[in-house]
Amino acid sequence: MQVYFVCFVPFVVTIFSSLRESTVANPFNWLNDELASLETRSLVRGRREVQSLAGGCCQIDGRKLWNFAGNDYLGFVRDPVVIAAAQDALNEGVGAGASALVTGRTHWHAELEQRLAEFKGTEAAILFPTGFAANFGTIVSLVGSEDIVFCDRLNHASLIDGARHSKARFRVYPHCNMNALRTELEKSAEFRRRLIVTDSLFSMDGDVAPLAELTSLAEQFNSMLLVDEAHATGIFGDRGTGLLEAQNVKSGNVVAVGTLSKAIGAQGGFVAGSQSFCDWLWNTARTSMFSTALAPPICAAAQASLKLIETEPHRREWLRSASLRVVEALRSQEWEIPDGVDGPIIPVLTGTPENTIKLSKQLQQQGLLVAAIRPPTVPQGKSRLRISLSHAHGEEGVEALIQAFEKFMSPI
C-alpha cells in the first residue's frame, strides 16, 4: 500500500503541474501579438550582421555594399591613426572597471575632457558613457517638477525622454518655429527654471536649428539652452567644432552636448560648459554616476580624431560640397528632399513605410545600404530614406549613389 502511495503521489503532482502550466497564462504571450501587429504595418525591425570594410563600405550576408547608413561622417572609424591610438591605450587594459565617480576616471578620461573643453572653447567638459546618457542625464540634472522644458518637435529621443523623465512641464514647439517658442516662453514666468533643448543638426531631417535666434530668446527669457551637437561636431565651423561655432553663438545661457560616436568615430558623449556646470553634473547626473566610465582605448581614439579634425579640415570641406552635389542631383531626378538640408544627412521623402522598405531593398540590390526610416522614428506619412555621406565614400561612392537613384528607382 505504502509503495503504491509513493509512486502515485509524484505521478499526480506531475499531471497537476503540467495542467497548471497549460492553463496559467504566460505573461509574455502579448509579445507575439504585438510583434505580429508591427509586421503587418511594415514596422518590424530585423537584426542583421554588418561587417565594416574600408572605403565607406560594409559587408552583409557576404556581399559588399556602399554604406550610406552610418554616422561615420569623416571616416575615422577605420582610420589607421585613430586605430593605432586605441591599440596603444589597450596595453593599459580594456575597460574602465568602474564608474568615473568611483575609480573609473583614468588619465585618458581627464586628458580627453581637457581636450574637449579646449575644442569647444569652454572652461570644462565632462564625459558620459553615450550621447544618449549625456542628453538624458543633463536634462534630469537641470530641471524638476517646478520647471519647464521647451523642446523642438523633431528633437532626438534622448532629449525628449530626458525632459519627460525630469518631471518638468513639457512643451513641444513646431520644428524651428521661433514665434511659437516665444509665445510659450511668454507664458512661463511662473516656473522656477526654463530650459530650451534642441538638436543643432537634426538627425532625421538634416537641417539646421536657428541657434542665434534660440540664444537670443533664451537670454530674453532667462532660459537655459541645451544644444545637442551630436551630428554637427567635426563637420561645421572653421575649426570643425559644430554649429555653435559656425553660427558664432557665444552665450552664458548655452550649454553644448556632443557625441564621440558619430564624426569622431568612437563612442560616448560629452557636455561642455562652465566649471560649475560640469561640477554640478559630476555630482548629480545619474547616467554618469551609476554607469561604468568609457573604455580607455575609446578615449584615446577620440583624442586622435579630435586632432585629425584640427589638422585635416579638407575632410569636412569635401563632405559639405559632396552633400550639395548629391542634393542637387537627386532633386533634379525629382526626388523629394526637404528644404534646409545642409551637411552629411540627406533625407529622401518616400511616404509610406512599405514604399520606403521597397526602395531600400532596391538600393541594396544595386549595392547600396541606405537606412529606411519609419514611424515611430519619424511622424506618420514622413517615412524616408536617410542617406548619410562619409568622407570615406570619396567621389566613387557619391557617383554610385547618384547613379543608383537615377537608373534603378523612380520617385513615388
Ligand X SMILES: Cc1ncc(COP(=O)(O)O)c(C=O)c1O
8 A C-beta contact, residue 235 and residue 319 = yes
Least Cβ distance, residue 232 to ligand X (angstroms): 9
DSSP type of residue 406: H
Does the footprint of ligand X cover residue 158 (CB under 6 A)? yes
Compute, in degrees rounded to 10, the torsion defined by CA atoms 268, 166, 161, 228: -50
The reply to whether 291 sits near ligand X by the rule CB under 6 A is no
C-beta closer to ligand X: residue 122 or 203? 203
Using rule CB under 6 A, residue 384 touches ligand X: no
> 72 vs 228, which CB is nearer to ligand X?
228
Q: Is 288 in the site for ligand X (CB under 6 A)?
A: no
Instruction: State yes or no: residue 261 binds ligand X (CB under 6 A).
Output: yes
Three-state SS at 180 = helix
Is-contact 169 217, C-beta < 8 A? no
Is residue 270 a contact point for ligand X (CB under 6 A)?
A: no
Residues 172-231 that bind ligand X (CB under 6 A): 199, 203, 228, 230-231
Work out how close the CB of 146 gets to ligand X at its nearest, in angstroms, rounded to a whole number. Answer: 26
The nearer residue to ligand X, 135 or 383, going by C-beta atoms, is: 135
Nearer to ligand X, 323 or 405 (CB): 323
135 binds ligand X (CB under 6 A): yes
Name the nearest CA neighbour of 184 among 166, 196, 192: 196
Residue found by looking up cell 495542467 in the block:
19
Sheet containing 269-273, strands listed edge to edge, beginning at the edge strand earlier in sequence: 124-128, 269-273, 254-259, 224-228, 194-199, 148-152, 169-173
Q: Please report how many Cα atoms fall inside a 13 Å half-sphere around the Cα of residue 248, on the Cβ side.
A: 0
Shortest reach from residue 265's CB to ligand X, in Å: 12
For residues 252 and 121, is the Cβ–Cβ distance under 8 A? no
* Selected range binding ligand X among 41-49, 124-132, 307-315, 375-383, rule: CB under 6 A: 124-132
Main-chain dihedrals φ then ψ at residue 196, nearest 5 degrees: -100, 135
List residues near ligand X by CB under 6 A: 130-132, 135, 156, 158, 199, 203, 228, 230-231, 259, 261, 269
